[in-house]
Amino acid sequence: MVCLKATMKKRPFPEIWFEEHRFFMSTELPLSEQEAIRRQSLEQIRAAGIDPYPADLYPVNAAAKDILAQFTDESAGIWTEICLAGRLMSKRIQGKASFAVLMQDGVRIQLYVNRDEICPGENKEGYNQLFKKWLDIGDIIGVKGYVFRTMVGEITLHVQELTLLSKCLRPLPIVKTDAEGNVYDAFSDPELRHRMRYVDLIVNPEIRATFIARSRIVSAMRSFFDAKGWLEVETPILQSVHGGAAARPFKSHHQALDVPLFLRIANELYLKRLLVGGLDGVYEIGKMFRNEGMDKTHNPEFTSMEIYVAYKDYEWMMNMVEECLAYISVSVFGSTQAEYGAHRINFQGPYARIPLFDAIMQQTGVDVSGMNEQELREQCRQWNISTSPEMGKGKLIDQIFGEKVEKSLIQPTYITDYPIEMTPLAKKHRSKEGLVERFELFICGKEVANAYSELNDPIDQRQRFEEQLALANRGDADAMALDEDFLKSMEFAMPPASGLGIGIDRLVMMMTNQTSIQEVLFFPQMRPEGGK
């Protein structure tokens, strides 16, 4: 709201903007009975002179996780003056004493609240009103007290002081688990979980593990690269020419310049400019945006790690990737092995290295390496693989590979040496005619990484772009655009180099046993709620 006002001062929004956004600006939302009751409690709390959203810091001095791990009956004496804060997840009132569950940073700990201990004087309002009536499940509270073990043996905080830190105005879905581990009323609808990830994280705290792993995987990758002396950089997300990959972009517009801008589909051409500039090892971890469909392995925005190292080739890069993934796997999970569905994935190198045409031959018994476009098209028809007229030789081979080989590559496998037609940014193969020095890494039947010996011959590069233009004119919407400034930079001489891109979301999926990209993104793309 503040932000909106500030913007409006400068430049009023056109009428149509308000028309389109009136739903979001409405302040009059109908309240359910339970929401109304919580607002009433809020007013009563205020009327009692209690600030439901206090400003001062709350002196938390312990973690529920540590208490549960370290408390022993012998050491009970030292567990006093403990101060915890978190969300109230359940309340079981039994007259003048009660049990509750506090969730602090994803860990549940039981509280014991006794009327005469939190209200030592004559006035019992703090227990009878605030705790019993006005506090709801979902409220964030602070508690001070000592740790003990209940008669049934549960480690519990005996509360001596209770502070409301933030009132929750909406009912929280309550997921219950019984002694046998059966879950009741699970908050499991994927749409609701993804739209309201904050609620998902509260009531399904086990999903934190995947996101924590994701953070650690990226962090481990960063330390691996940093230790090699390579520099993390940032390059433009808004680009006037969307180069570096074959994909449809999102289009935007710059008002002041009155020019179209694209959200980047790749950052490759900018990282190569940095190689020209003399930065010999650069990498960037960031979002790419592709205007394509969504499914279990595709989100319109995704995170990619791109790295370029001067004076190396793609064989060196294969060794580096093996080393890197094994390092990440060990430092995050303590093992080079990972479960993925029924498979056990081994990230320890060396990985199998199979030339593309050999891989197709192994799976089909057919050698397609010598075929021209017409023969490839005929072969596709025999295998019942769909083709379209604008597909060139490269794309047809890619189609065959995707149909016949990709799914079978479960263990980390490099497919190497691709036809030149489908790879306009890679260097021609040093010994194999018509191929380029490229590899892709496949794990669990999905592409996870893509790398080249980078093309650094500016004349050759210009020709390759022109071939792409020809494809674009045939109707291939994904063909690459020609970037004049990039070509100019290359004419200043780019060192020979190898470059690599890793799909971080997919790598995280492989390492955390998730079959849907939505489960490794906090906020996957969803259709607008309530239709267009």
Partner RNA sequence: GAAUCCUUAGCUCAGUUGGCAGAGCACAACACUUUUAAUGUUGGGGUCCUGGGUUCGAACCCCAGAGGAUUCACCA
Residues 288-317 that bind RNA (CB under 7 A): 290, 292-293, 295-296, 298
Q: Does 90 bind RNA (CB under 7 A)?
A: yes
* Cα distance between residue 423 and residue 437, in whole Å: 9
Shorter beta-carbon distance to RNA: residue 457 or 478: 478
Binding residue count for RNA, defined by CB under 7 A:
74
Residue-by-residue DSSP string for 119-151: --SS--HIIIIIIIII--TT-EEEEEEEEEE-T
Q: Which stretch binds RNA (CB under 7 A): 92-100, 226-234, 316-324, 364-372?
A: 92-100
Shorter beta-carbon distance to RNA: residue 91 or 432: 91
Q: Rule CB under 7 A: choose which of 153, 181, 229, 365 binds RNA.
A: 153
Q: Does 532 bind RNA (CB under 7 A)?
A: yes
Q: Does 485 bind RNA (CB under 7 A)?
A: no
Phi then psi for 260, rounded to 5 degrees?
-75, 145
Q: Rule CB under 7 A: choose which of 104, 450, 453, 461 binds RNA.
A: 450
Q: Which stretch binds RNA (CB under 7 A): 33-41, 70-78, 369-377, 465-473?
A: 33-41
Q: Does 95 bind RNA (CB under 7 A)?
A: yes
Touching RNA, residues 404-443 (CB under 7 A): 422-423, 440
Q: Does 148 bind RNA (CB under 7 A)?
A: yes
Shorter beta-carbon distance to RNA: residue 37 or 165: 37
Check if the beta carbon of residue 452 is closer than 8 Å to that of residue 436: yes
Residue with tokens 């801008």: 261
Q: Which stretch binds RNA (CB under 7 A): 167-175, 351-359, 461-469, 492-500?
A: 167-175
Q: Does 513 bind RNA (CB under 7 A)?
A: no
Report which residue type is found at 386: S
Q: How far is CA 148 from the centre of its chain?
A: 40
**Residues in Cβ contact with 110 at an 8 Å cutoff, skipping those fewer than 6 apart:** 99, 100, 101, 102, 150, 154, 155, 156, 157
Q: Rule CB under 7 A: choose which of 79, 103, 136, 417 binds RNA.
A: 136
Touching RNA, residues 115-134 (CB under 7 A): 115-116, 133
Q: Rule CB under 7 A: choose which of 105, 315, 358, 478 binds RNA.
A: 478
* Cα distance between residue 199 and residue 174, in whole Å: 10
Shorter beta-carbon distance to RNA: residue 156 or 453: 156
Shorter beta-carbon distance to RNA: residue 93 or 410: 93
Dump strand ranges (E) for 150-297: 155-166, 176-177, 183-184, 231-232, 238-239, 251-254, 259-263, 281-289
* Helical (H) or strand (E) element with 353: strand 352-355
Among candidate residues 518, 346, 357, the one with its CA nearest the CA of residue 444: 346
Counting beta carbons within 10 angstroms of the beta carbon of residue 208, is it exposed (0 to 12), middle (13 to 18) or buried (19 or more)?
Answer: middle
Q: Which stretch binds RNA (CB under 7 A): 58-66, 224-232, 239-247, 329-337?
A: 239-247
Among candidate residues 165, 159, 162, 143, the one with its CA nearest the CA of residue 57: 165
Shorter beta-carbon distance to RNA: residue 48 or 192: 192
From the CB of 434, what's the least distance to RNA, in Å?
A: 16
526, two tokens: 């969803």
Q: What is the CA radius of gyration of the chain?
A: 29
Touching RNA, residues 47-76 (CB under 7 A): none
From the CB of 331, what's the least distance to RNA, in Å?
A: 26
Shorter beta-carbon distance to RNA: residue 59 or 530: 530
Q: Which stretch binds RNA (CB under 7 A): 4-12, 14-22, 45-53, 148-156?
A: 148-156
Phi then psi for 51, rounded to 5 degrees?
-85, 115
* Cα distance between residue 344 and residue 184, in whole Å: 31
Shorter beta-carbon distance to RNA: residue 252 or 515: 515
Q: Which stretch binds RNA (CB under 7 A): 145-153, 341-349, 371-379, 488-496?
A: 145-153
Shorter beta-carbon distance to RNA: residue 32 or 240: 32
From the CB of 2, what's the least distance to RNA, in Å?
A: 29
Q: Which stretch binds RNA (CB under 7 A): 74-82, 90-98, 313-321, 370-378?
A: 90-98
Q: How far is CA 7 from the centre of its chain?
A: 30
Q: Rule CB under 7 A: choose which of 139, 306, 398, 437 binds RNA.
A: 398
110, two tokens: 């039981």
From the CB of 93, what's the least distance to RNA, in Å?
A: 4
Q: Please state whether the peptide bond connecting residue 350 to the residue before it is cis, i.e. omega within 30 degrees of 0.
A: yes
Phi then psi for 348, rounded to 5 degrees?
-75, 125
Beta bridge partners of 125: none
* Helical (H) or strand (E) element with 82: strand 82-94
Q: Is 413 left (phi over 0), alpha (psi -120 to 50) or beta?
A: beta
Touching RNA, residues 334-363 (CB under 7 A): none
* Cα distance between residue 89 and residue 480, in whole Å: 53
Q: Does 251 bind RNA (CB under 7 A)?
A: no
Q: Does 146 bind RNA (CB under 7 A)?
A: no
Shorter beta-carbon distance to RNA: residue 245 or 504: 245
From the CB of 360, what's the least distance to RNA, in Å?
A: 16
